[in-house]
Amino acid sequence: MIIHVVRPGESIYRISQLYGVPYRKIIEDNGLNNPETVVPGQAIVLMTDTIPHVVTRGQTLYSLAQGYRVPLNAVISANPQITDPSQISVGQVVQIPVITPKLGTIEVNGYAFPNINADVLQKTLPYLTYISIFSYQVRPDGSLSTINDTPVITAARQAGVAPMMVITNIEEGASFSSALAHTILTDTAVQNTLLDNIVKTLEAKNYYGLDIDFEYVYPEDRENYNNFLRKVSQRLRPLGYSLATAIAPKTSATQPGLLYEAHDYAVHGALVDHVIIMTYEWGYTYGPPQAVAPLNQVRRVLNYATTVIPSQKILMGMPNYGYDWTLPFVQGSAARTLTNVAAAELAGRHGAPIQFDQQAQSPFFYYNDASGRRHVVWFQDARSVQASLRLVNEYHLGGVSYWTVNAFFPQNWLVLSSMYNIKKVL
């Protein structure tokens, strides 16, 4: 696999010729709906094992091997037509092998809404270990909302992907509720009812396990939440179910804020099988423009997390979306969410060169809309995906978790599968 960054004046046809990869294959692999509108700075994934190199004056197989940073014997093996490796001539085409060794085997979780498109689901399932269906909303009496999750569960199991039941403290018709969480976490009778309903659902729907996503829990309910997790673990372990939690991206145990304080990293790490850290939303709907998951900020979270949670239990959050902000940013205004594929297409329609922030390891671009208003878009591309996935190996994490897989982002899966083998538990 090669990630090529489009240069001024380049086209997909020219890139096809440059690397010897069929034009149609590049279009299909990258999900390019408008291949004629690629822009400078756009990342293109090329699935190839070799790069054709036209020999220039003074070059040898040894100098080519050094220049491309591949072993000389690999270059020789890739060119069996060269009978005398010491003799190559100007204008001769030498195939340079692309060596991308896998970094290991990881677990991959993808959050999905029940209404995920069937075609998107089928294309995504081969890359997943788990699919977490979002979500069963808990009610103040311990009952659960209902969702049409059966089609996703059936498709997942047929593909060897483990379906995870997700429960949230989202108030029906509203958002995450601190008060609702407080009710659940402080009433033993309600907890018992909730656990009974969870177990019934796990059994009836043929789920593999449970993912608890309680957010904006009151700081004073921190220990109540810990005790609730202990209770859930004690109930589910004998039944053989897997247990995961989703937690906020903290950089210290004492990080202030309603989103962070009740999430006790050490306790979660001790009790559950997987801790999904939501390492995204630095750039968010109502915030100022910036990368959604800047690598430097994600590193800060992992630097802390791996000191209190066994690293193999951590699934690092990966955003599968971007944001489009109208400039100048006004506090209280909302950015528009868009898919990563749509972001690149938007840049193409406006002829907007894509820039890349080296610190955040994220792409972005500016454009003017039909009304003349200035916009900035931050999103993900093959480069940012690759940079994030390298952290999994660097920190010896268990894997990654995508929010969400409802939109198919071809480049992401090409990069992921070229870097890692994906574990299956079914």
Tally the C-alpha atoms within 13 A of residue 399's C-alpha that lie toward its C-beta.
Answer: 21
Question: How far apart, in Å, do the first and last CA atoms of the chain sit?
Answer: 28
SS3 404: coil
Q: What burial class does residue 404 get, using C-beta atoms within 10 Å of its C-beta: 0-12 exposed, 13-18 middle, 19+ buried?
A: middle
Residue type present at position 291: A
DSSP string, 27-84: HHHHT-S-GGG--TT-EEEE--SEEEEE--TT--HHHHHHHHT--HHHHHHT-TT-S-
Active-site residue list = 215
The CA–CA distances, whole Å, from 368 to 86, 344, 346, 364 equal 55, 15, 11, 14
Residue type present at position 333: S
The answer to whether 123 and 82 are in contact (CB under 8 A) is no
DSSP string, 321-366: -EEEEESS--TT--PEEE-HHHHHHHHHHHTPPPEEETTTTEEEEE
Q: Among candidates 153, 138, 145, which has minimal Cα distance to 208?
A: 153
User: Distance between CA atoms of 361 and 296, rounded to whole angstroms?
Assistant: 8
Give, as one character, the DSSP assignment of residue 239.
Answer: G
User: Distance between CA atoms of 260 and 269, rounded to whole angstroms?
Assistant: 15
